[in-house]
Amino acid sequence: MTRAAQRLLAIQNALTNISVSDDQKVDNFILPDGAVMTAKADSVSPTNFIHIDGLIVCEYHLLDRTAQLVVSAVGTQFENTASHVPSFQVIEILPSSQVSSPQTSRNDIFVKDMWATVYALFTLYHDQEIIPVVLSQKINNNEELRSYLLRSGLGRTAHAPTASKEEIYLHRATFWQGAGTRGYHNRGWLPPSSFSVAPFPLIPSFTRTPIVISGHPLRPPKPEPGETLFRRFCPSIGETLEFTYFDLRSGSTTSKHLDIFHRWHNSERVNKAWGERGSLEKHRAYITEIMNDPGVLPVIMSWNGEPMGYAEITYLKENHVAPYIPGGPGDWDRSLHVLVGEDKFRGTVRTNLWHRALIHYCFLADPRTESVMGEPKADNPSIIKVDFDSAMHIRTIFDFPYKRSALFCVPRYRFFRMDLL
């Protein structure tokens, strides 16, 4: 066997033998709405429970059969021999009444708890692109939950017309794209105030500045100062990451956001990258200009409520980067400009978490966003490594009047196809 064939075989074996590690847990997992979830996947016991705020919301166990989602081979001679498509153990979901006392038992599962259950499963089995599940007939609202999973896009049935439709194949990619959140419940990563049930309508608009002349869609109104835009618990470090719209309101004193922004930009490390050292009034004017720009969101990033960094999330169509993008940007494509202000929050693990979360937010905020880009200095190896670690690729190298940049890009389909979150 050639070395190339050996490598391919190793990849196939890894994909087809994925299982949760022994006694892996989702312990004290904080959901975006503040509820606390605990789940355990035990390789010995067939029965596992999901608790939310101390109450068992459902039971699940692994059945003694596997299933595979065959798509492109359906209708060909390979339909029944597609061994390259991973097979995964089927999971049955049951109501809490199967395990709870009569005083606390339920025979139905709330939709928001069903979403949390899917969250728990994709946390425990995060390296599976598909999780095949069946909903027990003992669940009173079985049909409601089945309709929810299928209509929201969280799952699908088998592609082959003759295959059993009992299994629902949960998709990791659609789950992380926010399927089953908007319009269903308020437990998702975007707080209810930060999104509309439907995307902002397409209305033509125009930007004319000394460095930009561009037609583009009208952008949504800005959030309220201090409004939370995104919240996600990161189990690898046991902390919650939060993005908040910049708050310049101050009363008789300087706002907290402006104060830390001013301090960060006057540090040697941040100034070397951004070149915005200056007075408090200079920074107030800078942020005011950014907040008045419909195409830019200035965001404070925090760990467990403690500010750690700043980001500008920009629509590319009306940005000065647009002329350098081969083929031009899409109408809803966005870019990132970031800094970590607090030294204690630096490091590879945290950096990968917040960087991928920023990309995640961009894709969640509007389903029409097809790509997220960045344009770091071409000689900045640290941020270039971060971009590569987030599944970005280099589109081109180009020269601004003031720096040489590498244009990095991650398309939506790749970001969610991979196990990055």
**Catalytic (active-site) positions:** 375
Number of Cβ atoms within 10 Å of the Cβ of 86: 17
Provide the 3-class DSSP secondary structure of residue 295: coil
- What contacts 265, CB < 8 A, 6 or more positions away? 271, 274, 276, 277, 278, 283
Mode of pairing for the β-strands spanning 334-340 and 393-399: unpaired
242 close to 308: Cβ distance less than 8 angstroms: no
Q: Phi/psi of residue 263, each to 5°?
A: -65, -45
* Helical residues (DSSP H) of 58-184, grouped into ranges: 111-124, 142-152, 172-176
Q: Which two tokens stand for residue 255?
A: 């706002």
46 close to 98: Cβ distance less than 8 angstroms: no
192: part of which helix (H) or strand (E)? none
Closest Cα to residue 323, out of 256, 399, 402? Answer: 399
Place of tokens 């200009």: 289
**Gyration radius of the chain over CA positions:** 24
Give long-range contacts, CB 8 A cutoff, 24+ apart: 344-349.
Answer: 345/303, 345/308, 345/309, 349/236, 349/237
Residue spans of beta strands (DSSP E) within 193-274: 204-208, 213-217, 228-234, 239-245
What's the DSSP call for residue 16? H
d(CA 378, CA 404): 6
Closest Cα to residue 26, out of 155, 154, 116? Answer: 116
Q: Which two tokens stand for residue 323?
A: 């002329």
Residue 382 CB-density burial (10 A; 0-12 exposed, 13-18 middle, 19+ buried)? exposed
